[in-house]
Amino acid sequence: MSHLLNHHLQAIKLVLRRMRMSALSTFVICLVIAVALCLPSLFYLGVDNLAKLGNHMQSETEISLFLKSDISPENTAKIEAALAQHPDIAEYHFVSRDEAWSQLQRKSAGNADISNAIQHLGSNPLPDAFFIQAKSTEPAQLEMLRDRLQRLEGVEQALLNAEWAKRLAMILNLGRQFVLFVGLLLAIVLLVVIGNTIRMQMLTQKSEIEVSYLIGATNSFIKIPFLYAGAFYGLFGGMLSVLMIATMITSFNLSVTEISTLYGSDFKLNLLNIKLYLAIIAIAVITGWIGAYVAVSRAIRQIRLQ
Amino acid sequence: MIRFDNVSKRYPGSDEILKNISFNIDAGEFVFVTGHSGAGKSTLLKLIAATELPSRGTVLIANQNVSQLKASAIPYLRRRFGLIFQDHKLLFDRNCFENVVLPLRINGVAEQEAAKRVRAALDKVGLLNKEKVMPITLSGGEQQRLAIARAVVSRPAILLADEPTGNLDAEYAAEIMNIFRAFHQVGVTVIMSTHDALGMSNQHRVLHLHQGSLSDMHIQNMSENSQPGVAS
């Protein structure tokens, strides 16, 4: 047991020493790995944050019915009667333009910019509106209902709030597939880069490997340092990639804070996404190990044949 | 300890290099393998070290049939031997210490113990003060001595040397021979090939190869005092 441990410790020491001796080329390889990992990770972050935003909104399958600003009270009553009778509508409530106006003023009281803007408007620009909750949540039925409501007289616009959320969900799905696809492609790139690096290293150490075999080295004695090298390239590349992502998120957050305070939002990318970071490093280490394993097996066969 | 029974060796696309060789080497012997270049000396040593397998016949090392060993067992068999090659096979990208420590790394010897043993081995071949020197700066004789240090550092019971003095002048060759004799005196079995009959000592057993056959097998016992290791 201690023999085996000693074996591995020696291999790790050897690999780290070799990496230190060729620090620059090691850094370049790690940089390539880091950049390759960054791309799908950033896409993933983007999609993930959009999805969070989308989930927040998706629960509202509400139809907003904005009425013409010059509508007569009789017309409004007629529309309300139609809504009350409609079999597809679960509930609805009416918000008059005055109510909406005071609501807006109340909500924006905390934000000086917006309340200033409201002051400048002077008169109330908002229309009367019905907010309707449909019985169904099916997109097709909701759309049919919206189209029917749109045709009522005195209706300026019928908005299906869920619509953009649905579209967003579709785009997000596409985005996730794209992330997966890009991730797979770059994983292949990583395999090739690491595999090739390891293979070149083995060829430069060919004479050592040959002599080692002659004086009784086992296959695993030859393989283990190179497998560790692959894993270490992955580890360092993964760590560098995490560092790069964290830096990008921080600088993104700095610039986005200015914009989002303008909109009264506290939207921010989450900096401490430990799970994502661990996943990136784990994937890098595993990919490095696999790349090294394939390369080592091939190179050993090549060397032993000679 | 080492037993060949009707061993033949043929490489793909060549004639038989060894034909029906049979012999037995006991522990503690000092054996020369002689013959012209191309007579099959190197092949014979490779068969002993299990770096080649016989085409026919059986090679028994410590009662193990080499042909029937699993591939994973062969490295452990090889560790019984200290191998010295005609071209040294030293690693020129590292210093003397790192060259000699390689077999101990393979054997998984702990670092401190390994350092002690490396210095002991370098001391035996008279290179203790060259520990940190790169092998490329050593003379031919010193390089061969370094190769011997690497072969003996793991304290093998058998030393296999393929023409260790082949490329050296007389003085260096004598030095090398004395080192081998010293190991033999402490009980190590030494098997050494040489193409030069005069280069060998005279009180030892000789396996003579001629065109792949072991045509001659005798123990020379001439003058005890003649200068060993000198090639004329």
In tens, the pLDDT along A77-110 reads 888 888 888 888 888 888 888 888 888 888 777 7
Binned at pLDDT 50, 70 and 90, residue A269 comes out as: low
Return the pLDDT at A142: 78
Query: Is the CB of B89 less than 8 angstroms away from the CB of A210?
Result: yes
Which ipTM did the prediction report? 0.83
Q: By CB neighbour count within 10 A (0-12 exposed, 13-18 middle, 19+ buried), where does B50 fall? A: buried
Which residues of chain B have a CB within 8 Å of the CB of A3?
Answer: 108
Gap from A287 CA to chain B (nearest CA, Å): 28
Residue B33 pLDDT exceeds 70: yes
Query: B170-185 and B140-152 helices cross at what angle (nearest 10)?
Result: 20
Q: What is the pLDDT of residue B188?
A: 94
With residue B170 as reference, give the H or E element that holds it.
Answer: helix B170-185
Beta bridge partners of residue B161, listed in sequence order? B84, B192
Q: Using pLDDT thresholds of 50, 70 and 90, give the confidence band for residue B219.
A: low
CB atoms within 10 A of CB B153: 25
Report chain A residues whose CB lies below 8 A from the CB of B91.
207-208, 211
Q: Do A217 and B106 touch (CB under 8 A)?
A: yes
Distance, in Å, from the CA atom of A30 to the CA atom of A24, rounded to the nearest integer, reads 10
Interval B198-211: pLDDT, tens: 555 556 788 888 88
Q: In this model, does residue B160 exceed pLDDT 80? A: yes
Kindly state whether B11 is in contact with chain A, defined as any CB-CB distance less than 8 angstroms.
Answer: no
Comparing C-alpha atoms, which of B55, B59, B69 is closest to residue B22? B59
- The mean of the pLDDT values for chain A is 84
Which domains occur in chain B, in start order?
Answer: 24-52+68-219 (3.40.50.300)
Q: What is the pLDDT of residue B71?
A: 86
CA nearest to A1 within chain B = B108
Q: Do A215 and B83 touch (CB under 8 A)?
A: yes
Q: For residue B225, what pLDDT band results from cuts at 50, 70 and 90? A: very low
Whose tokens are 């401190």? That residue is: B112
Strand partners, B59: B4
pLDDT of residue A170: 83
Q: Could you tell me if B89 lies within 8 Å of chain A, comparing CB atoms? A: yes
Which pLDDT score, from 0 to 100, does residue B227 have? 40
Per-residue pLDDT of B119-155, as tens digits, reads: 999 998 999 999 999 999 998 889 999 999 999 999 9
pLDDT, tens digit, for every residue of A126-179? 888 888 887 776 667 778 888 888 888 888 888 876 666 677 778 888 888 999
One DSSP character per residue, A42-104 reads: HHHHHHHHHHHHHHHHHT--EEEEEEPTT--HHHHHHHHHHHHH-TTEEEEEEE-HHHHHHHH
What pLDDT does B46 receive? 92
The candidate with the shortest Cα–Cα distance to B53, out of B26, B89, B77, is: B77
- Asked if A215 and B76 come within 8 Å (Cβ–Cβ), the reply is no
Tell me what pLDDT residue B44 has: 93
Residue A251 has a pLDDT of: 86
The pLDDT value recorded for residue B3 is: 93
Whether the Cβ atoms of residue A37 and residue A283 lie closer than 8 Å to each other: yes
Q: How much of chain A exceeds pLDDT 90, in percent?
A: 30
pLDDT in tens, A8-53: 888 898 899 989 988 999 999 999 999 999 999 988 888 887 777 6
Share of chain A above pLDDT 70, in %: 90
Q: Does domain A61-160 have CATH number 3.40.5.50?
A: no
Per-residue pLDDT band at B221 (split at 50, 70, 90): very low
pLDDT bracket for residue B98 (50, 70, 90): very high
Beta-carbon separation of A214 and B91 below 8 A: no
A215 CB neighbours in chain B (<8 A) are 78-79, 83, 102-103, 106, 150-151
CA of A224: which chain B residue's CA is closest?
A: B106
A and B: number of Cβ contacts within 8 A:
53
- By mean pLDDT, which of A125-129, A238-242, A287-291 is the weakest? A125-129
SS3 annotation, B93-106:
CCCHHHHHHHHHHH
Cβ of A214 within 8 Å of Cβ of B108? The answer is no
Above 80 in pLDDT, residue B2? yes
Greater confidence, B93 or B160? B160
Q: In this complex, do A215 and B79 lie within 8 Å of one another by their Cβ atoms?
A: yes
CA nearest to A10 within chain B: B105
In chain A, list all ranges with CATH 3.30.70.3040.
61-160
Does the distance separating the beta carbons of A215 and B103 come in below 8 Å? Answer: yes
Question: What value does the mean pLDDT of chain B take?
Answer: 85
The Cα A20–Cα A262 span in angstroms is 49
**Is any Cβ of chain B less than 8 angstroms from the Cβ of A211?**
yes
Chain A residues with CB under 8 Å of B52 CB are none
Q: Does B86 touch chain A (CB under 8 A)?
A: no
- Does residue B15 register a pLDDT over 60? yes
Question: pLDDT digits over A103-139, tens only?
Answer: 888 877 777 777 777 777 777 888 888 888 877 766 6
B 155-184 residues with CB < 8 A to A: none
**CB–CB contact A216 B106 (8 Å):** yes
Is B91–A208 a contact, with Cβ atoms under 8 angstroms apart? yes
In angstroms, the separation between the Cα of residue A7 and the nearest Cα of chain B is: 6
**How does residue A198 score in pLDDT terms, banded at 50, 70 and 90?**
very high
Q: Are B200 and B34 in contact (CB under 8 A)?
A: yes
Residues in B 121-150 with any Cβ partner in A closer than 8 A: 150
Higher pLDDT, B101 or A165: B101
pLDDT of A57 > 60? The answer is no
Question: In this predicted structure, what is the pLDDT of residue A271?
Answer: 67
Q: What percent of chain B shows pLDDT beyond 90?
A: 50
Q: Does A208 touch chain B (CB under 8 A)?
A: yes
Q: Do A215 and B78 touch (CB under 8 A)?
A: yes
More confident residue, A109 or B65: B65
Q: Count other Cβ atoms within 10 Å, centred on residue A248.
A: 15
The predicted pLDDT at position A71 comes to 84
Query: Angle CA(B91)–CA(B94)–CA(B99) in degrees, nearest 5?
Result: 60
The rounded Cα A215 to chain-centroid distance in angstroms is 53
Residue A306 touches chain B, beta carbons under 8 Å: no
Check pLDDT > 80 for residue A268. no
Q: Identify the pLDDT of residue A293.
A: 96
Q: How buried is residue B1: exposed, middle or buried, by Cβ count under 10 Å (0-12/13-18/19+)?
A: middle
Residues 6+ apart with CB under 8 A from B172: B139, B140, B141, B144, B165
In which band, very low, low, confident or very high, does the pLDDT at B222 lie, cut at 50, 70 and 90?
very low
Q: What percent of chain B has pLDDT over 70?
A: 89
Closest residue on chain B to A4 (Cα):
B108
